[in-house]
Structure 1
Amino acid sequence: MTFNENANVGGNRARRRGAGAAVAGGGIAGIGAIAVLLFQLFTGQDLSGLVPAPQTGSGAESEIQQCETGADANRDDACRLAAGSVVLDEYWETQVQGYRAPQLVIVDGQTGTQCGTASNQTGPFYCPPEETVYIDPTFFGLLRQQFDASAGDLAQLYVLAHEYGHHVQYITGVMEQHPNNGTGPDSNGVRTELQADCFAGAWVGDMTELEDDNGVPYLKAPTQQQIADAINAAGTVGDDHIQQETGGTVNPESWTHGSSEQRQRWFETGYQSGPSACDTFGVAGGSL
């Protein structure tokens, strides 16, 4: 996804925290270890002891530097995510009465949170008690290396939008109404994740309509290839695909996020029909 170069993305609330990690893949012992990290991320099983820990950050925060225009966002992953947060906040303000923006923290290396350690080992996540999204941009390199997933501009923004979807679920009471009830293809956890995919698709469908204070659209219309990349990214992180790629058998009873087909389909549902079509909790298990 390409930002219009003269769009104003300054004033974003994103912060950087950590000590500065190596480039994607640095400090990780090969493709097998990357598979372990992603298996952990998308199944919820803690296998972090099998891979080296990244450098630990001090917890100090700073602004995202040189992130004022769409041109800045097109050059730098951290700025792209920060700029994406601006557009996401403006979108959800039009969709959710009383919307309040989450904090976005760009992680360099590793940092502590109320929901556990944030790093590229844990992947992007939303921490409800902090109302904060954590993303280490080197995570996108892991997707490229292990699963041949596109980590292009729109695929990155899909990941960010998915985590913002969890924030919307938290502040609107969805998480409270449908608490975690274990794993499985019909679990609340899977339904929660698929709804976040649908919310991400809804934002992608409308994001080019949002403009800065000068009337400049933040984003150019996505190409068909960019949409395909985002859908591919959704499919790549399906539970069944992760299980297959990590050498295991496909076990739906252990699913926490949904299958590749489901994640792609719910993303496309949101993209085509908007957030009102995203009631994954109202769908019978066999049709989810």
Structure 2
Amino acid sequence: MTFNPNASSSGGRVRRGGGSRARTGGVAVGGGLGVVGIIVLILMNVLGGGGGGGTLDIPGLTSQNQAEYENPEGESIADCTTGADANEDVSCRMEFTALSLDDYWGATLPQQAGIEYELPDFVLFTGQTSTGCGAATSAVGPFYCPPDRTVYIDTTFFEELQSRYGASGGPLAELYVVAHEFGHHIQNQLGTMSTIDQSATGPTSDSVRLELQADCYAGMWVRGASQTKDENGVTYLEPPTRQDIEDALSAAAAVGDDHIQETFQGQVTPHTWTHGSSEQRQRWFLVGHDQGSLAACDTFAVSDGEL
């Protein structure tokens, strides 16, 4: 899925590094490809890495010097003005993806939910960053922090998506990650996160339903992405090809709970799932893509057998 070379941006939608001075103590929501939060932290412990549960924390970073570590202003993405730039540079691609998502949800939320869309902040970081959910490292993967309403992504994760998790790659695989995290922001706006039990695990748990719904919301955006427009009325994206959709589905499958567990643990333990199986993630992405409505993406309304 490529950007229209003539699409434009005035810049400033995405910033680098730093974090937010919003209150800490919230819990980061599992990331775009299911490798954030409980799943990855468990795997890191199994494989001998660091990690823990609940809020994110960098070892040795105290609550006092965490504030000093933050950089709330950050840096905007330089030399990113056209869709042609986005097709060549991953950071610029993030900028234009966010703009397309803003345009899509800015129209969709009022139409389908009767509320105005609120822009989430979007931070690209390298190595580690401070957030409203605590401090995080790149090992945590992409994630959304509800307290500061910010999407955090280290773009080097996209390389791991192929090399470590076996996804086919491609631009839409990257865009799917961002769209999933924006999906968590939509859930936050709709109040979904405050009404469920995010501590539960298993194939039909609220945690899995939350992640599958974010996948479905990502599919909704892909369906309408080629209709989103810049301030001059130029469309941001070309229509996705069949291969683009296959790349997104490959990414979803590569980081299903069952695939991750089989790859890194040698066995599948469904009772610990927090993001859903490869099949579930692909299927709900397609539900969003094919039906294009918030109602169709209500994973909390379907029975266990339908999930």
TM range (shorter): 0.7 to 0.9
Corresponding position of 1:5: 5
- Equivalent of residue 93 in structure 1, options 106, 109, 113: 106
Residues in 2 aligned to 1:73 and 1:41: alpha-carbon distance in whole angstroms:
32
1:231 equivalent in alignment to 2:278: no
SS where residue 45 of structure 1 aligns?
helix
Counterpart secondary structure, 2:217: helix
3-state SS of paired residue (1:118): strand
Question: For 1:202 and 1:15, how far apart are their aligned partners in 2?
Answer: 25
Shift of the 247–121 alpha-carbon distance from structure 1 to 2, 3 Å rule, reads same
Question: Following TM superposition, by how much is the alpha carbon of 1:47 offset from its aligned partner in structure 2, in angstroms?
Answer: 2.4
1: distance between equivalents of 2:283 and 2:135?
31
Query: Identity rate of aligned residues, in percent?
Result: 50
Q: Secondary structure at the match of 1:72?
A: helix
Cα distance in 1 for residues equivalent to 2:95 and 2:49: 32
* 1:5-39 per-position Cα deviation (integer Å, ceiling 9, x unaligned): 11012234211016xxxxxxxxxxxxxxxxxx958
TM-score by length of 1: 0.87
- The match for 1:285 is 304
The answer as to whether partners of 1:9 and 1:83 remain within 8 angstroms in 2 is yes
Q: What secondary structure sits across from 1:133 in the alignment?
A: strand
Q: Note the alpha carbon deviations across 1:200-231, whole angstroms, 9 max, x for none.
A: 00000010011112221100111111110001
Query: Which one of 84, 88, 92 corresponds to residue 75 of structure 1?
Result: 88
Query: Residue 203 and residue 38 in structure 1: after superposition, are their counterparts in 2 closer, same or farther (change >3 A)?
Result: closer
SS in 2 for 1:268: helix
Unmatched 5+ residue regions in structure 2?
Answer: 19-33, 52-57, 62-67, 110-114
**In structure 2, how many angstroms separate the alpha carbons of the residues matched to 1:233 and 1:212?**
27
Inter-partner Cα distance in structure 1 for 2:262 and 2:171:
26
User: CA distance change for structure 1 residues 128 and 38 in 2, over 3 Å: closer, same or farther?
Assistant: closer
Q: Does structure 1 conserve the Cα–Cα contact (< 8 Å) formed by 2:11 and 2:76?
A: no
Q: Is 1:243 matched up with 2:261?
A: yes
Alignment of 1:78-157 (within 5 A): 78-96=91-109, 97-157=115-175
- 3-state DSSP of counterpart to 1:134: strand
1:167 to 162, 175, 185: 185
Partner letter of residue 47 of structure 1?
Answer: M
Shifted more, 187-196 versus 38-47: the winner is 38-47
Q: Which amino acid aligns with 1:15?
A: R
User: What is residue 42 of structure 2 aligned with on the other side?
Assistant: 45
**Paired amino acid for 1:74:** N
Distance 1:285 1:210, change over 3 A: same
For 1:272 and 1:44, the matched residues in 2 are separated by: 33
1:32 counterpart residue number: none
Between 261-270 and 37-46, report the one with greater CA deviation: 37-46
Change (3 A) 1:126 1:12: same
